[in-house]
Amino acid sequence: MGSMFSESDEHRIAEAITRAEKATSGEIVAVVAAESSTYLYAPFLWASVAALLVPWPLILWTWWPATWIYVAQVAAFALVLAVTLPRPVRYWLVPKSIKRARVHRRAMEQFLVQNLHTTAGRTGVLIFISAAERHAEIVADAGIEARVAKGTWQEIVTRLTAAFTRGRHTDGFVAAIEEVGGHLAQHFPPGSCDANELPDHLIVLDEG
């Protein structure tokens, strides 16, 4: 994760948040996680299925003794586990729907952890991306969610995810912050209570 954002990259993102918040009474928090889940269950699941299937052809079509079949079963489990345990393979095995559900859950957790639900006027917006899954979420509090057209956040998420896929991590975050800030400024311009309640820097979560 450290190689994804340099010090200057994080500075650019922090400046983008500061600029956006000067035009609104709302709050923007940017969070990036290395992953939203380890998905360690997937290799063990596949290895267990393989181990359960291996004995049947040996029982039906060979005269192998039970001890040999058991050894073959254990070997199959170990082999499949070794092949599927590396992170890239592990992520590939998990369906996109499950990965998106894990990212959504992590984003909702961060919305609460970062205290976005406590902002004045309920105008906090979280921009969250999970690097391993290459999936983003925008979570907006009730005040702004009620005023933004349906599908607006998803359009920003799509562009942010595409930028991450192309390796343009910082550009993607800055563009997303500017777009979210524009919507906040439109509906919640600066007012008398513009205290900067939440951090403006990029929050990096190194563990899933």
Beta bridge partners of 58: none
Looking at per-residue confidence, does 115 or 53 come out higher? 53
Report the mean per-residue pLDDT for the chain.
89
Q: Could you count the other beta carbons within 10 Å of the beta carbon of residue 18?
A: 15
Query: Cα-atom radius of gyration of the chain, to the nearest Å?
Result: 23
DSSP state of 35: -
The CATH number of domain 7-37+95-205 is 3.20.20.30: no
Domain with CATH 3.10.310.50 in the chain: 7-37+95-205
Model pTM? 0.85
Q: What is the mean pLDDT of residues 86-108?
A: 93
Q: Per residue in 6-43, pLDDT tens?
A: 889 999 999 999 999 889 888 899 999 999 999 999 99
Which H or E run includes 31? strand 27-33
pLDDT value of position 195: 60
Q: For 154-176, what is each residue's pLDDT tens digit?
A: 999 999 999 988 989 999 999 99
* The pLDDT of residue 197 is above 70: no
- In angstroms, rounded to a whole number, what is the distance separating the alpha carbons of residues 137 and 157? 6
pLDDT at 193: 52
Instruction: Check the CA dihedral 154-160-164-167 and report its sign.
Output: positive
Residue 138 has pLDDT above 50, yes or no: yes
Q: What is the pLDDT of residue 194?
A: 54
pLDDT for residue 196 is more than 80: no
Most confident range (mean pLDDT) of 25-29, 102-106, 112-116 is 102-106
